[in-house]
Chain A
Amino acid sequence: MMLFSRVRGLPVLTPGDADRVGVVRALTVDAASGEVTHVRIRRGRLRREAVVAWSALGAVGPDMLIARPAGRPGEAPPHRDLVGSRVLTECGEERGTVLDAAFDPATARIEAVLTTLGELPAGRLLGLGDHALVIRTGHGHPG
């Protein structure tokens, strides 16, 4: 289990020669499937951001990621930051803001989303857009 907040800022190294590519800027998620799909890597002030599919990562450790960036941002789905987004139920009621999310690095599946109002199971995620993370209305959670 890894937290988004722990992955952010981790160095990304190339396989073999262990050259430093950059640091993890953000994780792109597909909220409907509840998976991390891409890693966005900051390569420096003057170089464009690199995007690597999570499935193309060589290894994921607690202190670094091994990857060889090949893709360009245009080839990846549009990025929305999960952390910091407002949470909205499918009934149009706000439910706080996302603080962090936990996921399994082996399967890339999101296990839980931590919000200012508590923890949400990944099964309740519906979609993440430019306005909010939309969640299903859970049983015992009116609105």
Chain B
Amino acid sequence: MWLDALTLQLGYNATLVALGAMFLGVAAGVTGTFLFLRKRALVSDAISHATLPGVGIAFMLMVALGGDGRSLLGLLLGSAVSAGFGLLCIGWLTRFTRLAEDAAIGAVLSVFFGFGIVLLTIIQTMTAGRQAGLEGFLLGSTAGMLWNDAMIIVVGGVLTLAVVMALRRPMTLVAFDPEYAAASGLNVARIDLAIMGLAMAVTVVGLKIVGLILIVAMLIIPPVTARFWSDRTDRVVWLSGALGGVSAFVGAALSAAAPSLPTGPIIVLVSFAFFALSLLFAPSRGVLAAFLRHRRFQRRVHMRQGLLALAQGQPIYEGFTLRLLRRAGLVEKDGVVTDQGKARAAKALRDEKRWELVRADQALEGAAALYDGLRALETVLTSDQIEEIDRRIGGPKGVGA
């Protein structure tokens, strides 16, 4: 059954929803990357919670105008308006009061959400309109979705994705280096606004599928996951889009095949699984790699410090350093330095002396910047340059260098 789902052997609507979710996932992953790189990931949390009053008010308005209040387009429009108002409130609080952005985000999300709940409880008591299903906006529900609604999601997903693609260059520039972007004539404020607008569009379109509490995950988790795999902005953008698309598609398809699995949580958990794998196993930024690297680095530091201390006849205070030296056969159990130890120590000291000259030499500034106490000079300078250094070390002792 799951295989059927993944290969789209679903009903017509479910297929549409899965495809719509995928487009939306790509758009969310890409948009979210810009939010993440601008260090404003949680603004999306405020945006999504701030949609709720809009849903409620739109429903009430549509009922007041004689409808049954079920037009998805109308509800989404309302949610967009109130999310936009929430964003304005955050901007206003951070600009005109001393409150920091995190406080503004928290205040807006909780108050708007609380007010939205008040409206929902009013709606529950209304006799007109068909309010059943409004709770679906909290956690998302695609079960029993109408063809019209599915189309809205597909079209919304495609449109959002198209705008993201069209604006990706300037957004990348701004996310990477806002000052340079401003200097090269881009209107940073306007592009930031576009990023926010897109985040809002993703939220609104995704509201029905994922629900407002979890939609923020689609904007946050894929970019964070992608960041583990690359340091280049453009690659992070694409990777995040791909991760978002795959997670959303798999999630929506699985949930369509097994109706007891709610769409939103499944999408989020699929996406989190990618994240957890990346956090642990990504090649350079992953936890495992970082841990091994740190261990190696710590050993190199202790080894080098131990060798320098040996060469200069200084005492070694650290037990770990001594253990390392012993294990490498550089020091005997009784503390006597072996011949190999003496040789390595002498080499370390010579390297250190060479470095000291290099770092005092204005002409070798480029090489000097690479000094980290560990790097062998041979990896930085040519053998000719090192010879020259050695001549200068020997200089004062020798005859008229």
The yes or no verdict on A and B being binding partners is no
User: Which residues on B are within 8 Å of A, measured CB to CB?
Assistant: none
